[in-house]
Amino acid sequence: MRHLVLILWAVFIAGVPGYVAAQSQGPLRIEITEGVIEPLPVAIPVFEAETAGSAEIAALITQVIAADLTGTGLFREIPASAFISASTSFAAPVQFADWKAINAQALVTGAVNVQGNALNVKFRLYDVFSGAEMGSGLQFSGTADGWRRMAHKVADAVYSRITGEGGYFDSRVVFVSESGTKDARQKRLALMDYDGANVQYLTDSSAIVLAPRFSPTGGQVLYTSYESGFPRIYVLDVANLQRRGLQSQDGTMSFAPRFAPNGQTIVYSISQGGNTDIFTLDIATGQGTRLTNAPSIETAPSFAPDGSQIVFESDRSGSQQLYVMPVSGGEPRRISFGPGRYSTPVWSPRGDLIAFTKQNQGRFHIGVMRTDGSEERLLTASFLDEGPTWAPNGRVIMFHRETQGAQGRSTLYSVDISGRNLRPVRTPDGGSDPSWSPLQ
Amino acid sequence: MHIGHYISGSGHVALIGWLIFGNVFAAEPLPMQVASVSVVTGEQYAAAIAAFQSPQSTTEVAQPETPDAPDTPAVVTEPDAPAAITPPVQAETPPTEEAPEVMEQALPQQAEVSDTAPELPEPPAEVAVLVPEVADRAVPKPAERIAPEAVSKPDPEALPDPVVQEAVQKDQTGELPKEPTDATAPEEAATEIVTEAEKPAATLTESKRPPARRPEAPVKVAQPDPKPAATPNPEQKPAPDTSDAVNAALNEALASASSAPAAASVPSGPPLSAGEKDALRVAVSSCWNVGSLSTDALQTTVVVTVSMSPDARPLDGSIRMASYSGGTEGAARQAFEAARRAIIRCVLCSDTLPTEKYGQWQEIEMTFNPERMRIK
């Protein structure tokens, strides 16, 4: 026994220095698992005007870029009054110390050149604290009247380089513009930039219109109109406003149309004799296919971005819930199981989430869930929120919110999928049923 | 560096020699019992065994007769009658439109729109609470900044700084007790994102309106707007620039990391205490802003190495990405850039990293794992 103790003691004495030496080798290692979530401070000095007539448009472009970035809630613009370094020349070297001193973490510099109707906009993006440029400088060329789109494109590039996600600023939204009181409301289709600018009306208000939906290319719009007395689906060409109605049977109502990702097929609902089911229609051949055949109400279909599945709402279980079925039809799979009623599901363009409207305990919510129904997250709550639509990058949702009372107004809102940055979208009149286009 | 090896080696050699030559394992023989035995021949052994053998039996047992197997009954088979099958009901197919209905429509005039978003009055505030919300947990107050620890709203006069410091002002005698400084305080922060749906329903009203599912019956149309529809202004698409320099930083970082010299300097001084490591971790955490990271980047863990100067500042160009996992190359680049900003922004003071232990923190390897930030 005494010998055994001696052995162990000798082994310990011999091993400790080696152990200590082994532990002392290599760098100090730490693991960071907690961070902060806050807007990234970004400095955007007014773009340099390269020609005499460029100053005004340069200022406008800079304003739009700043508004785009700060409007995401991910960036915070540092006011120009805090700038130490005056950016006078686009080609001049950047004094990073001056921008570090005001805690600018990103810097956007640019120049604008207007000659006649030709417009050139170029920019560079810098990571201030590393003192390096993020990507290469980019230049956009176009016409002067398209300056706003140029600004959106610069903002998209900046957003994409910093966040790693696609932008959504150079996109449009088609919606139903609403004016007048609730009992005499006029509705017409309208088109606008994503931020509410450049509103253009696509129809007059002689007939009630509902649920406009962009085609995958953004060149066409599906919508439902009551102009024949019954709801009927139309396809509108955005470029020339030519339109045609899709065939419908007498005594039926067609509604809730939406394009398939291939742009050649639409999925929609037909209501006949009190029953509503989902059909697809090949636009070119006019061939239709029934996808559901149940005594319950199936409507609001939306394709998965890969075109393989369709999510829709149904009350076959006794209350409105969300279901997913193959694009060829077949047995649907219920994915919503929470309390309340679920409606207007829309598949994310990234394919990872489904946005929906939920009504529970007298309140309306816009929410998102995984495509299998897990990880449900309610983003908003109000008297009436409805009709979500996804931004092209799948990070932002736009919807409409209606306030209570006879003077209640319907307004478009946008919210990040994290639930942050809930903000109204400014439109001349009220707005509802938004549909976001792809990037232009 | 090899002192430990020398001591360890010497100790081992001494130990092995002692074991071999020190007769350590020699032991006295165990106690043994002795019994006497006798030797017998084969004949004696056979005779002794024969006396104990059992008797043998040769009686045969008659086997019972096998009964005749009955004939196999004939099986009469009849073909199955085909089951009555009702032909499937053909899916109701909307009839094909013979000719698309084209509406001739003159291009309306250009809409009068302005480039700036129109001013819109804020929606009226919603009033009355009919449905009280019962929260399962304490709902944190929403804040623009999400941090590991909640921070209440600081004094508006205080400058944002992780360290709380009161302003030094003149006393009653009009003299400054010490050098005047501004007040500082951490920015207001919450520990998690609070969505509108999670806020208390203090301004919400119960909605009586069911969700719109199907169009309602035709209703009287409001008076048409005499103003014709406007022509969309087809905008010229600027030529996209397809230049792509997105991989430059990542490639450079990876190349630098792979070619980094293996001969690191020898750490000197005592190792950092747990508290000192925690202080470093907290300092970097407070600067690690993941708010602008993409969903993919938030799935990516990056390992970043940095060389520090004796005054606890990262050396220029020494921040490199050693490895990444869980995401794409592009996502790793975004995650690395956020980590690099965190390291550079953190002004580490000697209180956090003691100078006498510089050899221990001259080289630091930080693993940025955003897993817990995804559920904020």
pLDDT tens column, A182-209: 778 889 999 999 999 999 999 998 889 9
pLDDT of residue B64: 43
Token duo for residue A61: 């472009």
For residue B196, list chain A residues with Cβ-Cβ distance below 8 A. 379-382, 415, 419, 422
User: Smallest Cα–Cα separation from A405: which of B190, B178, B128?
Assistant: B128
pLDDT of residue A366: 97
Distance of residue A79 Cα from the nearest chain B Cα, in angstroms: 16
pLDDT of residue B176: 62
For residue A197, list chain B residues with Cβ-Cβ distance below 8 A. 113-117
Q: Which of A265-269, B205-209, B233-237, B330-334 has the lowest mean pLDDT?
A: B233-237
pLDDT of residue A161: 93
Q: What single DSSP character describes residue A116?
A: T
Task: Say if the Cβ atoms of B196 and A153 lie within 8 Å.
Answer: no
Tens-digit pLDDT profile for residues B292-326: 888 889 989 999 999 999 888 888 789 999 999 99
pLDDT at A381 over 50: yes
Residue A140 Cα distances to A4, A113, B130, B235, B278, angstroms: 82, 10, 54, 14, 48
ipTM value greater than 0.85: no
Interface test with A, best of B20, B90, B120 (most A CBs within 10 A): B120
Q: Where does residue B321 rank: exposed (0-12), middle (13-18), buried (19+ CB within 10 A)? A: buried
Distance of residue A318 Cα from the nearest chain B Cα, in angstroms: 15
For residue B357, list chain A residues with Cβ-Cβ distance below 8 A. none
CB B297 within 8 A of CB B338: yes
Range 15-74 of B in CB contact (< 8 A) with A: 15, 24
Tens-digit pLDDT profile for residues A79-91: 999 999 776 678 8
B3 lies within 8 A of chain A by CB: yes
Average pLDDT in chain B:
64
Determine the average pLDDT of the residues in A64-73. 96
pLDDT of residue B49: 54
pLDDT at B105 over 60: no
Tens-digit pLDDT profile for residues A236-287: 999 999 999 887 777 788 899 999 999 999 999 999 888 999 999 998 888 8
Locate tokens 């730490």: which residue? A30
In whole angstroms, give the CA distance from residue A389 to residue A356. Answer: 9
Token duo for residue A439: 């990037």
Tens-digit pLDDT profile for residues A329-346: 889 999 999 999 999 999
CB A364 within 8 A of CB A384: yes
Cβ density class B221-243: b for 16+ within 10 Å, e for less: bbeebeeebbbbeebeebeeeee
Nearest CA in chain A to B144: A38
pLDDT of residue A348: 97
In whole angstroms, give the CA distance from residue A227 to residue B221. Answer: 9
Q: Which strands, in side-by-side order, build the sheet including A396-402?
A: A385-390, A396-402, A410-416, A423-425
Amino acid at B303: V
Tens-digit pLDDT profile for residues B258-295: 444 444 445 667 788 888 888 889 889 988 999 888 88
Nearest CA in chain A to B105: A242
Task: Say if the Cβ atoms of B124 and A403 lie within 8 Å.
Answer: yes
pLDDT of residue A378: 95
pLDDT of residue B75: 40
pLDDT of residue A31: 93
Q: Which of A89-98, A170-179, B198-207 has the lowest mean pLDDT?
A: B198-207
pLDDT of residue B237: 43
pLDDT of residue B168: 64
In whole angstroms, give the CA distance from residue A39 to residue B152. Answer: 18
Helix (H) or strand (E) holding B311: none
Amino acid at A371: T
Nearest CA in chain B to A20: B4
Distance of residue B349 Cα from the nearest chain A Cα, in angstroms: 17
Tens-digit pLDDT profile for residues A97-132: 999 999 999 999 999 999 999 999 999 999 998 888
pLDDT of residue A253: 87
Which candidate from B5, B241, B267 shows the least CB-CB separation from A18? B5
- Give the residue with greater pLDDT, B177 vs A80: A80
pLDDT at B233 over 80: no
For residue A344, list chain B residues with Cβ-Cβ distance below 8 A. 211
B88 lies within 8 A of chain A by CB: no
Q: List, in sequence order, every residue forming a beta bridge with B241; answer none if it has no partner.
A: none
- Give the residue with greater pLDDT, A14 vs A122: A122
In whole angstroms, give the CA distance from residue B290 to residue A39. Answer: 9
Distance of residue A261 Cα from the nearest chain B Cα, in angstroms: 22
A vs B: CB pairs below 8 A: 412
CB A225 within 8 A of CB A208: yes
Task: Say if the Cβ atoms of A35 and B289 lie within 8 Å.
Answer: yes
User: Smallest Cα–Cα separation from A199: which of B227, B230, B105?
Assistant: B230
pLDDT of residue A345: 97
In whole angstroms, give the CA distance from residue B328 to residue B347. Answer: 30
pLDDT of residue A284: 85
pLDDT at B120 over 50: no
Q: Cα torsion at B126, B127, B129, B131 (round to 10°)?
A: -30
Backbone angles phi, psi at A165, to 5 degrees: -110, 160
B373 lies within 8 A of chain A by CB: yes
pLDDT at A368 over 90: yes
User: Smallest Cα–Cα separation from B198: which of A367, A387, A402?
Assistant: A367
Task: Say if the Cβ atoms of B131 and A38 lie within 8 Å.
Answer: no
pLDDT of residue B239: 40
Determine the average pLDDT of the residues in B11-27. 75
Token duo for residue B159: 């400058």
pLDDT at B63 over 50: no
Q: List, in sequence order, every residue forming a beta bridge with A180; answer none if it has no partner.
A: none
CB A278 within 8 A of CB A267: yes
In whole angstroms, give the CA distance from residue A346 to residue B178. Answer: 63
pLDDT of residue B150: 74
For residue A183, list chain B residues with Cβ-Cβ distance below 8 A. none
User: Smallest Cα–Cα separation from A219: which of A245, A238, A199?
Assistant: A238
Determine the average pLDDT of the residues in B344-363. 80
pLDDT of residue B248: 52
For residue B144, list chain A residues with Cβ-Cβ distance below 8 A. 38-39
Residue B300 Cα distances to A228, B148, B244, B250, B365, angstroms: 55, 19, 22, 14, 16
- Give the residue with greater pLDDT, B241 vs A384: A384
Backbone angles phi, psi at B186, to 5 degrees: -65, 155
Locate tokens 């700036």: which residue? B116
pLDDT range class, residue B20, cuts 50, 70, 90: confident
pLDDT range class, residue B179, cuts 50, 70, 90: low
In whole angstroms, give the CA distance from residue B296 to residue B301. Answer: 10
Q: What single DSSP character describes residue B121?
A: P
pLDDT range class, residue B23, cuts 50, 70, 90: low
CB A345 within 8 A of CB A354: yes
Which candidate from B15, B197, B296 shows the least CB-CB separation from A380? B197
Distance of residue A398 Cα from the nearest chain B Cα, in angstroms: 15
pLDDT at B257 over 50: no
- Give the residue with greater pLDDT, B251 vs A139: A139
Full-model pTM: 0.71
pLDDT at A314 over 90: yes
pLDDT of residue B104: 34
Distance of residue B316 Cα from the nearest chain A Cα, in angstroms: 8
For residue B339, list chain A residues with Cβ-Cβ distance below 8 A. 32
Determine the average pLDDT of the residues in B9-22. 82
The alpha-helical segments, DSSP class H, found in B42-129 are: 42-50
B136 lies within 8 A of chain A by CB: no
Helix (H, G, I), strand (E, B) or coil at B175: coil
Q: List, in sequence order, every residue forming a beta bridge with A36; answer none if it has no partner.
A: B289
